[in-house]
Structure 1
Amino acid sequence: MFFIEELWEILILDRLMSKPRVYTDFLFRSQSASKFNATCQSAELEACRDDSAAFSLKFVAMASILVAGIVGIAIPLVGKHRKFLRTDGSLFVAAKAFAAGVILATGFVHMLPGGTTALSDPCLPEYPWSKFPFAGFFAMMASLATLLVDFVGTQYYERKQGLTQKSEEQGRVGSVDASLESGILPGEEKDPNDRVFGEEEGGGMHIVGMHAHAAHHRHSHPQGQDACDGNLMEDSHSHGHSHGHSHGHGHSHGLGDGEGAGHARHVVVSQVLELGIVSHSVIIGISLGVSQSPCTIRPLIAALSFHQFFEGFALGGCISQAQFKNLSATIMACFFALTTPAGIGVGTAIASSYNPYSAGALITEGILDCMSAGILVYMALVDLIAADFLSKRMSCNFRLQMVSYLMLFLGAGLMSLLAIWA
């Protein structure tokens, strides 16, 4: 009996001693969970928070960014008829190099690190987000997808343009044949030399000769310094023909094969570049709109205005070179200029209910940031920098090379410097 009483006391004592351990473990888990939730849900609650001041600053940001975007994209579109702002002028090439540096730094320094931070945030589940470098993967896939769209779009526009030119050639050849049948020699009333694209079959010997002559001038340039000299001689030769004769042997290259391919490239580049710029403009606009901290918004106003101006300049230059109709160019320009202010407006509207540290928001923001980075890096390197810096015009002008490289590094450096505040 005495043994049973001692055993009972030991069991009771052990149970009483185990309860504090259970309660301690429970309190520890609760405190950890509350700290985790506070980190994921209340990180925006900082000392500088001021809802009314932030609300006023958002309207200032919308106005400033809207004006910067409009001015930036309008300069190359409106100024393409002015001598010093023409898209084939040296000033435009240097300014475009600066804008390319801005876009490159935006992808590498602003968008990709932001996407990496979002996708590696501790608020996300450990699996799978901490088990694989998703940020680099999404950026890489976006770059490859941009390459595919670039290639397919260029092929489509070149084929479309080729069919249009072929129908025009057939119409021109038909008019020449009709004039021959009526006994009127080509060149007496209408200049047949404008028909550079006449077909060899039945198009008349003169058209064949002109086609070969234009092809010779387009494709038989020498290399090195002779190529630069050859370009100058060709330019003067073409101007001499256009002014000295009533028929200009098609040396303006306005409808040449190379120009057709170049035009198709400009069309695709402008559209893909706008896609990349617009996608990240939405993200940065919403990010600014949901912020309630004036300390965060103030530097973003200056940084995003600078950023929007030069992105608009680069995009406007591509649109101008693509030679869109006025209505299409205006629509593209307005779409670019309004995207970031619209994103700020959406962010302001949902600021009270939007939690930027929720798993869904972090994943969405991270994926879009990384994809935007991949698109912008591809466009900056391939379609802006390589297209201009590897061109014959750049290799033949040492002064333009030095100025363009300086502007490229200056744009990339200044945009990278803005990462301190934005």
Structure 2
Amino acid sequence: MSAASNFTTPRSNECILTDEEINHSYNLTHRIISIFVLLIVSFVGAAISVVSTRVKRLHINPVIINTGKFFGSGVVLATGFIHMLPPGMKSLTDPCLPDSWNVYSAYGGLFAMLAALIMQLIEFIAHQRYQSMKSSKPYPINEGSKIKDQKPVQISVVEIIPSTEELCDSTHHYHGAAFQDDIQKHKISTYLLEFGIALHSVLIGLTLGTTTESFIALFIALSFHQFFEAIALGAQIARLDRISLRSTGMMVIFFALTTPVGIAIGIGIHTKTYNPKSIASLLVNGILDSISAGILIYVALVNLITAEMGVGAHAFHTLKKRLKLLYFIALYAGVGAMSVVGRWA
């Protein structure tokens, strides 16, 4: 057998499934129902934090929201490590792939690592662009200032030291460069989080739409998974400053649609005699699962856990000990819950 044929053909007839094997136990009605159920679950989970922040009558105690947020952060982390990386590595080491792929067993980890590095680079470039745009703009002058006929003076970040009044007065036109930087960093991290979770949600929807085994168990597990993951994302969106209600709603709706879209795509693929053991399916699923894992792991560790609970998270360190203990327990509970769910999903 030539090297070229060895690269393009599976090594066993077991890798070629018949239509009967592929369609066995595949219930189209269940898949269609799952589209609407996961749409509602995802929307409600993401909307809880946003609505409670925007609508005073529906205000929820911040402790409850934060507990759900940290629980959701644990869900995101475990999703990357438990639900995405192992399947990605399994697909990329499947015996049905050519020998050229099986000689290196770390492709899954490689793609996950590259995805994490690319996310870090994107975040760095976004911050650099923001800093360059900010430095090119004149220092905003308070409308109450009586200074006239004076050209705006550009002031660097290190020269601006915001006072307590500036940080606390919501009607003040300038809250300090450090405060503005925190807002911008949170926006960037939130957009990256939504991108990572959206990609992951499409992939798991695709899995649910094409799978022929253990659909009910997978559907139940993913319903819980999407709800708590949505809470984590919703909490981040709710904290976005100076963003319209329309934009916030669009972010929530966009996330809610990702898994149903993935399921619909999966159903469409399956109707065209989807073969999960084909080389194309194994490579696409393995690479996308690994990339999604890298994105979620990076976002969970850097933008959620470290940003909220790390050394630089001064607000978290000023909390009472019992609150910090509660949030750590919530984080670990999220990790534990999704790890247990991974036993069936």
TM-score normalized by structure 1?
0.70
Whether 1:299 aligns to 2:217 is yes
**Cα distance between partner residues in 2 of 1:199 and 1:277:** 42
Match of 1:393 among 315, 327, 334: 315
What CA RMSD, in Å, does the superposition of the two structures yield over aligned residues?
A: 3.1
Mark the CA change 1:320 to 1:284 in structure 2 (over 3 Å): closer, same or farther: same
**Cα distance between partner residues in 2 of 1:417 and 1:70:** 24
For the 8 Å contact 1:84–1:91, the answer to whether it is kept is: no
Residue deviations 1:26-61, cap 9 Å, x none? xxxxxxx99922344259938x9334xx11111221
Matches within 5 A, 1:152-167: 152-161=125-134, 163=136, 166=138
Whether 1:49 aligns to 2:34 is no
**Cα distance between partner residues in 2 of 1:130 and 1:34:** 15
Aligned amino acid, residue 315 of structure 1: L
Aligned residue in 2 for 1:168: 140
Match of 1:68 among 36, 41, 50: 41
Whether 1:250 aligns to 2:250 is no
1:144 deviates by 0.7
Secondary structure of the 2:275 match is coil
Q: Quick check: which has more Rg, 1 or 2?
A: 1
Matches within 5 A, 1:200-349: 215=161, 217=163, 249-252=165-168, 255-293=175-213, 296-323=214-241, 324-349=243-268
1:167 deviates by 5.6
For the 8 Å contact 1:263–1:321, the answer to whether it is kept is: no
Secondary structure of the 2:41 match is helix
1:158 deviates by 4.2
Residue deviations 1:148-181, cap 9 Å, x none? 11111123234445555x3633x748x6223x99
1:250 deviates by 2.1
1:318 deviates by 1.7
Identity %: 34
Match of 1:98 among 71, 76, 79: 71
1:362 deviates by 0.7
Aligned amino acid, residue 322 of structure 1: L
Whether 1:118 aligns to 2:91 is yes
Aligned residue in 1 for 2:269: 350
Mark the CA change 1:135 to 1:253 in structure 2 (over 3 Å): closer, same or farther: farther
For the 8 Å contact 1:80–1:320, the answer to whether it is kept is: yes
Count matched residues: 325
Aligned residue in 2 for 1:368: 288
Aligned amino acid, residue 161 of structure 2: A
Mark the CA change 1:259 to 1:216 in structure 2 (over 3 Å): closer, same or farther: closer
Whether 1:414 aligns to 2:337 is yes
Aligned residue in 1 for 2:106: 133
Residue deviations 1:325-365, cap 9 Å, x none? 22222222211111111111111122132212110111111
**Cα distance between partner residues in 2 of 1:105 and 1:313:** 15
Whether 1:404 aligns to 2:323 is no
Aligned amino acid, residue 252 of structure 1: C
Residue deviations 1:169-225, cap 9 Å, x none? 3x748x6223x99xxxxxxxxxxxxxxxx9599xxxxxxxxxx9x8264xxxxxxxx
**Cα distance between partner residues in 2 of 1:35 and 1:99:** 42
**Cα distance between partner residues in 2 of 1:67 and 1:90:** 25
Matches within 5 A, 1:9-28: none
1:263 deviates by 0.9
**Cα distance between partner residues in 2 of 1:274 and 1:90:** 23
Mark the CA change 1:89 to 1:259 in structure 2 (over 3 Å): closer, same or farther: farther
Secondary structure of the 1:45 match is helix
TM-score normalized by structure 2?
0.84
5+ unaligned residues in a row in structure 2: which ranges? Answer: 1-8
For the 8 Å contact 1:102–1:411, the answer to whether it is kept is: yes
